Amino acid sequence: MAARSALRGRPLLGIGAVYAVGINAGAAATFWYDKECAKRKQWRVSENALCLTAALGGWIGGMWAMQQFRHKTQKKSFQEKYYASVAGNVAALTLGSRTVYGKRLLATLLKR
C-alpha cells in the first residue's frame, strides 16, 4: 500500500520502476537460461545478447545472476564486454540526466 500511495500522481515513476524490475529479472533469467543450456550442451544465448541486457539497464540482475549461478565468472573477455555495457548504460543515464530534457524528466519524476 505504501508503494502505491508513493506512486500516486507520478505515473512515469511507476513505469520506470516496473521497467527496472522487469529488465533486471529478465537479465537474471537470461543468464540462468544460458547456464542451463551450457549444462545440457544445447544452443546458447549469445554473449552480445547478454551484454545487451546490461546496456538496457539490467546489469544489476545480470551481475547478481553471474555470481548466483556461477556463470561467465571465469571468462575475462566476456566480463570486459559486459562491464563496458554497464559503463555505457551508466554513462548514458548520467549524461541524459544532465540535458534539459533529462532535468525536466527528473523534476517531473521527483515532484510531490
Is there a contact between 37 and 59 (Cβ–Cβ < 8 Å)?
no
Grid cell listed for 92: 548514458
Residue 90 falls inside a structural domain = yes
Q: How far apart are CA 104 and CA 4, in angstroms?
A: 23
What is each CA distance from 18 to 10, 39, 40, 55, 108, in whole angstroms? 13, 31, 33, 17, 17
Residue 5 falls inside a structural domain = no
The pTM (predicted TM-score) of the whole model is 0.80
Residue 55 falls inside a structural domain = yes
pLDDT tens for 12-53 read: 778 888 999 999 999 999 999 999 999 999 999 999 999 999
Q: How far apart are CA 31 and CA 45, in angstroms?
A: 8
Domain that holds residue 19: 10-110
Residue 46 falls inside a structural domain = yes
Residue 103 falls inside a structural domain = yes
**Domain tally for the chain?**
1
